[in-house]
Amino acid sequence: MNQAYKIHLMRKPALNDQFTATVRDLGTDGRGIVGHPSGQVFFVAGVWPGESGKFRITGFKQRFGFAQLIELLQPSPSRMAPPCSHHGLAERDCGGCAWQFIDYPAQLQAKEKRVRSALSRFAIDEKIGTIHASPHTLGYRNRAQFKTDGRQLGFVAAGSNRIAPIAGCPVLTPINQATLHALLGTLPEPGWHPQRKGTWTTLDVDEGITAEQIVPNQRRPFRQGNDAQNTFMREWLTTRLDTLDKARAVTELFAGSGNFTQVISAAGFQRIHAIEGVAASVAQLTGQKLHGVEGHCRNLFLEADCTRLQGDTAEASILVLDPPRDGFKYIAALLPKKHRYRDVFYASCDVATFTRDLQVLVDSGLEVQELQPLDLFPHTPHVELLCWLRADT
């Protein structure tokens, strides 16, 4: 390397500069982490640890930047041909399954490594189980949200707010693939034209609705997106609840329409407070008439409502919660200095917010008994966590 080129690389990186580097790790969003010769860190989509390539700088944000792979010099042994023709990083490619270029064992290894790394400060590595693989890596997704402007229909293009048109989607279940094809057959559809400039119309589908029944811009009731893995989650909870005294009262937070409430009721508990913030979900849950269940509508994103729950559920000593990606920001409001919870079962869909909430649980006198990662969405960086904590006294 001549001296002039060395000086060029060591100066402050600029937009469109090119450099050569080796991917050293993955970020929390699944993008590769590469180091510029100047020392600045860049995030790059579509690469894997150990791969070497030539990169072009595309942007900056505070102390790090973004770059694009322009030439792969040394591919990973785990690299493979994506099973979907719409996968890619171009402006018309779908950004939904970012890891389709890597074989499944390597995906699982990366997810488990991320979990163990994120939780290393808790010194619970021996309590973290091997990640539970999805039985199916294609044809598993039981729900989806399509975007359309009335002329084209698809998902969102990688790194943009543009629609990436699709002709099919191999991760959808056969029923949802049939619904997709029926929707594509109606195009163009003027009624799906977005109401505001620069936006799109959403079409939510799952296995309980046909193409003709879909209402634009109307969300479907929440359900876990992978039936086989949801069965595993329910069985995991059942097995652990079976070891507890059924005379104890249970508080369930973010109960939804009863995915875990059904498990708790079937286990034989007599007093179950099922708390959910969406009134329609509470009504659906109440309509199931599950034994021992009282449904309550509370806004779990308001600290005052969470504080009031202390009194509403004062007799409960078991806590089950399955919050959204934001986690349970006000979990401390439910755990005063002398709280009564002796067993907590936390299902999390975000490692970062779970790590934050776990610190609160541990500080309140609870200790991790076991933590089970599982892969709910193959070909994505997403990882689900199931954690059982008990009082340490």
User: The domain that contains 315 carries what CATH number?
Assistant: 3.40.50.150
Tell whether 218 is covered by a domain: no
Among 25, 48, 74, the domain-final residue is: 74
Per-residue pLDDT of the chain (393 residues; tens, 9 = 90+): 555 555 555 678 999 999 999 999 999 999 999 999 999 999 999 999 999 999 999 999 988 999 999 999 999 999 999 999 999 988 889 989 999 999 999 999 999 999 999 999 999 999 999 999 999 999 999 999 999 999 999 999 887 888 999 999 999 999 999 999 999 999 999 999 998 776 899 999 999 999 999 999 999 988 999 999 999 999 999 999 999 999 999 999 999 999 999 999 999 999 999 999 999 899 999 999 999 999 999 999 999 998 888 888 889 999 999 999 999 999 998 888 888 999 999 999 999 999 999 999 999 999 999 999 999 999 999 999 999 999 976
Residues 201 and 349 in one domain: no
Residues 235 and 378 in one domain: yes
- β-pairing verdict for 41-44 and 153-156: unpaired
3-state secondary structure labels for all residues of 221-234: CCCCCEHHHHHHHH
Identify the helix (H) or strand (E) that includes residue 158. Answer: none
Question: Which entry of 84, 94, 306, 349 is annotated as an active-site residue?
Answer: 349
Residues 231 and 377 in one domain: yes
End-to-end CA distance of the chain: 63
Task: Show Cβ contacts of residue 288 under 8 Å, excluding neighbours closer than 6 positions.
Answer: 258, 262
- pLDDT at res. 338: 83
Tell whether 20 is covered by a domain: yes
**Which residue stretches of 158-198 are H helix?**
174-184
Cβ contact 43:10 at 8 Å = no
Residues 189 and 248 in one domain: no
349 is catalytic: yes
User: Which strands make up the sheet holding 293-297, listed edge to edge?
Assistant: 293-297, 272-276, 249-253, 316-321, 343-348, 384-391, 366-374
Residues 162 and 262 in one domain: no
User: The domain that contains 52 carries what CATH number?
Assistant: 2.40.50.140
Q: What is the DSSP annotation of 237-300? A: HHHHHTTS-TTSEEEEES-TTTTTHHHHHHTT-S-EEEEES-HHHHHHHHHT--TTEEEEE--T
- pLDDT at res. 242: 97
Q: What is the DSSP annotation of 45-87? A: TT--TT-EEEEEEEEEETTEEEEEEEEEEE--TTB---S-TTB
Residues 335 and 254 in one domain: yes
Tell whether 162 is covered by a domain: yes
Cβ contact 87:94 at 8 Å = yes
Residues 261 and 366 in one domain: yes
- Average pLDDT over the chain, rounded to an integer: 94
State the total domains in the chain.
3
pTM of the model: 0.93
Among 48, 74, 100, the domain-final residue is: 74
Which residues constitute the domain of residue 172? 143-213
Residues 208 and 231 in one domain: no
Residue written as token pair 């869909």 = 349
Tell whether 363 is covered by a domain: yes
